[in-house]
Structure 1
Amino acid sequence: MLTKEMTVGQVLRSYPQTVQIFLELGMHCLGCPSSTMESIEGAALTHGQNADELVAKLNKAIADA
């Protein structure tokens, strides 16, 4: 189960099926250096998203895979 404290990089490395979720929410800089250190919560705030909703979508994508 993912948490909003995890980094975007951790999530992408462990669960590549989540890429589409990030892209659909306008988070297109998945390969940039900051994604390796930025938390899901930080990325959500930067992109005007609710971190809890983002985590729920990511966890659903993982469960459905």
Structure 2
Amino acid sequence: MWDKDTLLGDILADSPDMSEVLLGLGMHCTSCSVSRMETLEEACKVHNLPVDPVVNFLNEEAEKLGI
């Protein structure tokens, strides 16, 4: 569904519920307008998170939520 080049804004537009999942990963700036233009890869770098496991986790959580 999503990959490292997906914009945070697109994820949140697809499913506002993913905001809680991103917050749980320590991405606390999901409401910031600038962060919505970041890719998952850029956001992971800023938050010192490994991109591939995060992408996999987000896709798994989206599936659980029926997204």
Under a length normalisation based on structure 2, what TM-score does the superposition of the two structures give? 0.87
Unpaired runs of 5+ residues, structure 2, are: none
CA RMSD after TM alignment: 1.0
Shift of 1:17: 2.7
**Is 1:26–2:36 an aligned residue pair?**
no
* Higher helix proportion: 1
Deviates more, 1:13-22 or 1:23-32: 13-22
The runs of 5 or more residues in structure 1 that have no matched partner are none
4+ runs deviating over 4 angstroms: none
- Give CA-to-partner distance per residue, 1:14-54, whole Å, 9 cap, x none: 02232222111111110112222100000001001011111
Same amino acid, percent of matched pairs: 34
What corresponds to 1:9 in structure 2?
9
Q: How many residues end up aligned between the 2 structures?
A: 65
Letter in structure 2 aligned against 1:18:
M
Residue aligned with 1:61, SS = helix
Amino acid at match of 2:24: E
**Match of residue 58 from structure 2:** 58
